[in-house]
Amino acid sequence: MSSSCNSTPAAGAATIQLMKLQLRAEAAIEPALVSTSEASKKTQIIAIYGKGGIGKSFTLANLSYMMAQQGKKVLLIGCDPKSDTTSLLFGGKACPTIIETSSRKKLAGEPVAIGDVCFKRDGVFAMELGGPEVGRGCGGRGIIHGFETLEKLGFHDWGFDYVLLDFLGDVVCGGFGLPIARDMCQKVIVVGSNDLQSLYVANNVCSAVEYFRKLGGNVGVAGLVINKDDGTGEAAAFAQAAGIPVLAAIPANEEIRRKSASYEIIGRPDGAWGPLFGELAAAVAAAPPVRPKPLTQDALLGLFSSDVTGRDVVLQPATTLDMLGKESIEKKSLEVVYDTV
């Protein structure tokens, strides 16, 4: 008994030493280099980012429809937890999401099939990744889970000309930056308007692209789509300062707003807005991914007049009197300070 007890500390020490050696061996392994080669896929995978409510889904529904009418095979994937990317395309009808479908199928012991999550209209194929209910999970993790399911369904073998990914741009957790961080797309398009908040988001996306380019990534920004353009020019000025082209300017138009609200596609070749979306489709296809030049906060604010941004405000430091409503007695620090020789 005593010999057994005496051997335990020695065995434990040997185990700890072995673990240390294994950890050192793992630490010595150099990480794999990020690929810097040109994208070789025939399919153009394009991630579209923008502030929530700026009109990404409207732009993408009409863009994908126009591309299909031009004879292209297009897949539109909604990557927003609201799952509203495809609602305009399908006349307001909700599309079953990959996350809810896979959960239901898993409980039933059944595999997910393409027909369970992918639907089509007039040549456009579309699906929604979905997300958790409010307060019940991480939206970014839902995105990652959705793409894992797509890979199991054979995503990389599908023969599409274009895959358009609709991403919420004002959420910065990992899942929403997946296409940029992991080179899952060849280029990024940002949708913005002539307002500070949407351009702030667009600038953040440019910053993310630049960050991963410095790490060896390949993704670039193909350009900016200006939605609800009122002609004031801030979005165009941002694009010029950031070194990216304006792919299209969709006007702030009552007919467009009304038809969009009633889930009507306006990007039809024979429609009044057909030429606009036809030119946008051509620009999206041809625009090369460029390395953007993100603006500083001051430079971004400089695109707007001071009465819009409050740039003339001076920061005034708060005092203890402000915080307590009375003067307080200064307490001596207990920190020991040693004199240096």
Q: Given 51, 187, 228, 259, which residue is catalytic?
A: 51
For the question of whether the overall pTM of this predicted structure is more than 0.85, the answer is: no
Cα dist. 35→122, 177, 218, 220 in Å? 37, 17, 8, 14
56 part of the active site: yes
| Residue 79 confidence (pLDDT) | 83
- How far does the chain reach from its first CA to its final CA, in angstroms? 59
| Residue 175 confidence (pLDDT) | 64
| Residue 4 confidence (pLDDT) | 45
Spell out the residues 6+ positions from residue 272 whose beta carbon is closer than 8 angstroms to its own: 255, 266
The alpha carbon dihedral of 168, 88, 92, 147 has a sign of negative
Residue 290 DSSP code: B
Which residues, given as ranges, of the chain have pLDDT below 50?
A: 1-6, 31-41
50-85: per-residue pLDDT in tens?
Answer: 988 898 899 999 999 999 999 999 999 988 777 778
Q: Given 84, 161, 170, 195, which residue is catalytic?
A: 170
51 part of the active site: yes
| Residue 36 confidence (pLDDT) | 41
Cα–Cα distance measured from residue 185 to residue 41, given in angstroms and rounded to the nearest whole number: 10
Please tell me the number of Cα atoms within 13 Å of 155 on its side-chain side: 19
Q: Where are the domains of the chain?
A: 44-301
Q: Given 72, 73, 82, 105, which residue is catalytic?
A: 82
332 part of the active site: no
| Residue 62 confidence (pLDDT) | 95
Is the CATH code 3.90.1640.10 the one for domain 44-301? no
For the record, the structure tokens of 262 come out as 């009633």
Q: Given 56, 187, 228, 259, which residue is catalytic?
A: 56
